[in-house]
Amino acid sequence: MKISVQMYSLREQIAKDGLDKVLSAVKAAGFDCVETAGFYGMTYPDFGAAVAKHGLYVSGSHTGVAELLTNPGGVLEMTDVLDFRDVIIPGIDPAEYKRDLKAVTDKIGRAADLCRKNGLRLAYHNHAAEFDGADYLQAFMDGVKGLLIEPDIFWLAVAGVEPLPYITKRVDRVMAVHLKELSVKGEDDFSPVLGDGVSDTQNVLRFAVKSGIPYVVLEFEKFVGDYGAFLQKNANYIKKIIKES
């Protein structure tokens, strides 16, 4: 299993220290790859070179469904230049799917068709809103052929959904798991190191390893201390559980 980090988590550090220094810290902590959510004003070749310089690669990208449908050529250029196949919708405005679920499902379906025809995998990344009043994440899976999910265990826990049972029942639809730790104090508190919160991270990670899920992605919000040390602690935890599983 490979371990990735969502670069959106490090946006403030990148703004302060620059991408090169942050990528150096990511590599030093022991991560294999990064998941993108923007390119900091860089061209795809330049971003790819910056990542490769540190012995990393791109595992996937959070890309809005609107961009997939209105700029498919740009998305395909991105995946070709950066040499990855996993595209993840980072959520949709809940008002849209609560107002017209079929229209949103059809829209995701068109994006999934585009990805499939071009050898890409499309997944949906959940927040808590997808479980407000109904399981909209399941509705998307039911309505869209081949749609995968990138379950975020933090947001599952916030929504009152037990992460492990939910993921276990849908393992054949899981692209990768987002490991984001929920503090015992709630969603507005600082992100704890993985394993120190209430997202059931250990059991989810053990299951992911045993199920052959190819990679997991670290994500976090605000945190305490140096980001290099925080990355290191999280990577060490992930590697320890992988080794034990």
pLDDT for the residue numbered 62:
98
The pLDDT value recorded for residue 160 is: 98
- pLDDT 10s digits, 27-62: 999 999 999 999 999 999 999 999 999 999 999 999
User: Which pLDDT does position 47 carry in this prediction?
Assistant: 98
Q: So what's the pLDDT on residue 116?
A: 97
Residue 72's domain is classified under what CATH number?
3.20.20.150
Structure confidence at residue 96 (pLDDT) = 98
Residue 56 makes CB contacts below 8 A (sequence gap 6+) with 23, 26, 27, 31, 32, 33, 34
Which two three-digit tokens encode residue 120? 């890409």
Residue 13: the pLDDT is: 96
| Closest by CA position to 101, among listed 65, 134, 60, 61 | 134
**pLDDT for res 37:** 94
Q: pTM (2 decimals)?
A: 0.97
Residue 231's pLDDT is 98
The dihedral sign for the CA sequence 98, 100, 103, 105? positive
CB contact set of 222 (below 8 Å; sequence gap of 6+): 190, 191
Structure tokens at 55: 């012995």
Report d(CA 137, CA 31) in Å as an integer.
Answer: 29
Please state the domain count of the chain: 1
- What residues in the chain have per-residue pLDDT under 70? none
Range of the domain at 22: 2-244
Which pLDDT score is estimated for 153?
A: 98
